[in-house]
Amino acid sequence: MRLWSLHPKHLDTKGLVALWREGLLALAVLNGRTKGYTRHPQLERFRSQNNPVAALQCFLVEIHRVATNHGYNFDIRRLGPISSSACCEQLISVTAGQLKFESLHLLNKLKQRSPVLAQEFDPSKIIAHPIFVVRPGPIESWEKTEHK
Protein backbone atom coordinates (compact mmCIF):
# COMPACT_ATOMS: atom_id res chain seq x y z
CA MET A 1 0.00 0.00 0.00
CA ARG A 2 1.37 3.41 -1.00
CA LEU A 3 -0.62 6.48 -0.02
CA TRP A 4 1.51 9.11 -1.74
CA SER A 5 2.22 12.39 0.05
CA LEU A 6 2.94 14.03 -3.27
CA HIS A 7 0.15 15.62 -5.27
CA PRO A 8 -1.72 13.05 -7.39
CA LYS A 9 -1.25 15.26 -10.48
CA HIS A 10 2.34 13.94 -10.60
CA LEU A 11 1.22 10.33 -11.06
CA ASP A 12 0.88 8.47 -14.33
CA THR A 13 -2.29 6.51 -15.15
CA LYS A 14 -1.13 3.35 -13.42
CA GLY A 15 -0.09 5.27 -10.32
CA LEU A 16 -3.32 7.24 -10.11
CA VAL A 17 -5.52 4.15 -10.46
CA ALA A 18 -3.42 2.26 -7.90
CA LEU A 19 -3.61 5.18 -5.46
CA TRP A 20 -7.41 5.27 -5.73
CA ARG A 21 -7.64 1.50 -5.17
CA GLU A 22 -5.22 1.54 -2.26
CA GLY A 23 -6.93 4.57 -0.75
CA LEU A 24 -10.26 2.73 -0.85
CA LEU A 25 -8.61 -0.26 0.83
CA ALA A 26 -7.21 2.06 3.51
CA LEU A 27 -10.68 3.53 4.01
CA ALA A 28 -12.10 0.03 4.47
CA VAL A 29 -9.39 -0.65 7.06
CA LEU A 30 -10.18 2.53 8.99
CA ASN A 31 -13.90 1.73 8.84
CA GLY A 32 -13.22 -1.76 10.25
CA ARG A 33 -14.43 -3.53 7.10
CA THR A 34 -11.34 -5.67 6.52
CA LYS A 35 -9.02 -7.83 8.56
CA GLY A 36 -5.94 -7.22 6.43
CA TYR A 37 -3.59 -4.24 6.45
CA THR A 38 -4.82 -3.11 9.87
CA ARG A 39 -1.29 -2.29 11.05
CA HIS A 40 0.03 -0.89 7.79
CA PRO A 41 2.51 1.93 8.51
CA GLN A 42 1.09 4.15 5.74
CA LEU A 43 -2.07 4.49 7.86
CA GLU A 44 -0.28 5.92 10.92
CA ARG A 45 -0.57 9.52 9.82
CA PHE A 46 -4.30 9.19 9.17
CA ARG A 47 -4.91 7.35 12.43
CA SER A 48 -3.18 10.17 14.31
CA GLN A 49 -5.91 12.61 13.21
CA ASN A 50 -8.96 13.52 15.30
CA ASN A 51 -11.15 11.94 12.62
CA PRO A 52 -9.06 9.39 10.67
CA VAL A 53 -11.88 8.44 8.28
CA ALA A 54 -12.60 12.08 7.40
CA ALA A 55 -8.88 12.71 6.84
CA LEU A 56 -8.64 9.77 4.44
CA GLN A 57 -11.85 10.78 2.69
CA CYS A 58 -10.38 14.26 2.11
CA PHE A 59 -7.22 12.65 0.76
CA LEU A 60 -9.32 10.62 -1.66
CA VAL A 61 -11.48 13.58 -2.73
CA GLU A 62 -8.40 15.23 -4.27
CA ILE A 63 -7.45 12.00 -6.03
CA HIS A 64 -10.99 11.84 -7.43
CA ARG A 65 -10.71 15.46 -8.63
CA VAL A 66 -7.43 14.79 -10.46
CA ALA A 67 -8.78 11.56 -11.96
CA THR A 68 -11.93 13.34 -13.17
CA ASN A 69 -9.77 16.03 -14.80
CA HIS A 70 -7.97 13.22 -16.67
CA GLY A 71 -11.25 11.76 -17.89
CA TYR A 72 -11.44 8.82 -15.47
CA ASN A 73 -14.70 7.77 -13.86
CA PHE A 74 -13.84 6.97 -10.24
CA ASP A 75 -16.98 6.48 -8.15
CA ILE A 76 -16.95 9.14 -5.41
CA ARG A 77 -19.89 7.39 -3.70
CA ARG A 78 -17.43 4.72 -2.56
CA LEU A 79 -16.11 7.25 -0.01
CA GLY A 80 -19.41 7.43 1.86
CA PRO A 81 -20.90 10.66 3.19
CA ILE A 82 -18.34 13.47 3.37
CA SER A 83 -18.72 16.69 5.30
CA SER A 84 -17.57 19.58 3.10
CA SER A 85 -16.19 21.43 6.13
CA ALA A 86 -14.25 18.37 7.30
CA CYS A 87 -11.85 18.53 4.36
CA CYS A 88 -10.97 22.13 5.15
CA GLU A 89 -9.99 21.11 8.68
CA GLN A 90 -7.83 18.12 7.76
CA LEU A 91 -4.18 19.09 7.43
CA ILE A 92 -1.50 16.52 8.13
CA SER A 93 2.19 17.20 8.56
CA VAL A 94 4.70 15.54 6.21
CA THR A 95 8.45 16.06 6.10
CA ALA A 96 10.38 17.48 3.17
CA GLY A 97 12.55 14.35 3.38
CA GLN A 98 9.49 12.16 2.86
CA LEU A 99 8.38 14.18 -0.13
CA LYS A 100 11.86 13.96 -1.65
CA PHE A 101 11.97 10.20 -1.02
CA GLU A 102 8.58 9.74 -2.69
CA SER A 103 9.52 11.87 -5.69
CA LEU A 104 12.62 9.75 -6.31
CA HIS A 105 10.60 6.57 -5.73
CA LEU A 106 8.06 7.74 -8.30
CA LEU A 107 10.82 8.64 -10.76
CA ASN A 108 12.18 5.09 -10.51
CA LYS A 109 8.70 3.67 -11.15
CA LEU A 110 8.22 5.96 -14.14
CA LYS A 111 11.56 4.91 -15.61
CA GLN A 112 10.27 1.33 -15.64
CA ARG A 113 6.73 1.81 -16.89
CA SER A 114 6.67 5.21 -18.65
CA PRO A 115 10.15 6.21 -19.87
CA VAL A 116 8.80 9.24 -21.76
CA LEU A 117 7.12 10.57 -18.62
CA ALA A 118 10.25 9.84 -16.62
CA GLN A 119 12.29 12.09 -18.91
CA GLU A 120 9.84 14.94 -18.34
CA PHE A 121 9.59 14.33 -14.57
CA ASP A 122 11.43 16.85 -12.37
CA PRO A 123 11.60 15.73 -8.70
CA SER A 124 12.56 19.27 -7.66
CA LYS A 125 9.14 20.57 -8.79
CA ILE A 126 7.08 18.12 -6.78
CA ILE A 127 4.37 19.55 -4.57
CA ALA A 128 2.51 17.82 -1.78
CA HIS A 129 -1.05 16.59 -1.85
CA PRO A 130 -3.11 19.53 -0.49
CA ILE A 131 -4.02 17.64 2.68
CA PHE A 132 -0.35 17.69 3.69
CA VAL A 133 1.65 20.56 5.13
CA VAL A 134 5.37 20.16 4.43
CA ARG A 135 7.79 20.75 7.29
CA PRO A 136 11.55 20.26 7.47
CA GLY A 137 12.75 16.82 8.41
CA PRO A 138 14.01 13.44 7.23
CA ILE A 139 12.01 10.56 5.77
CA GLU A 140 9.04 9.77 8.02
CA SER A 141 9.50 7.08 10.66
CA TRP A 142 6.63 5.03 9.22
CA GLU A 143 8.26 4.78 5.77
CA LYS A 144 9.74 1.37 5.05
CA THR A 145 13.21 2.02 3.63
CA GLU A 146 16.83 1.32 4.33
CA HIS A 147 17.84 4.82 3.18
CA LYS A 148 17.01 6.77 6.34
Given a cut of 70, whether residue 14 has pLDDT beyond it is yes
Encode burial over 49-61: b for 16+ CB neighbours within 10 A, e otherwise: beebbbbbbbbbb
pLDDT in tens, 48-106: 998 899 999 999 999 999 999 999 999 999 998 886 656 656 689 999 999 999 999 99
What's the pTM? 0.90
Angstrom distance (rounded) from CA 65 to CA 138: 29
Given a cut of 70, whether residue 39 has pLDDT beyond it is yes
Confidence grade of residue 17 (pLDDT, cut at 50, 70, 90): very high
Which residues have a Cβ under 8 Å from the Cβ of 119 and sit 6 or more positions away?
Answer: none
Angstrom distance (rounded) from CA 95 to CA 88: 20
pLDDT at 110: 95
Average pLDDT of every residue of the chain:
90
pLDDT at 148: 44
Share of the chain above pLDDT 90, in %: 74
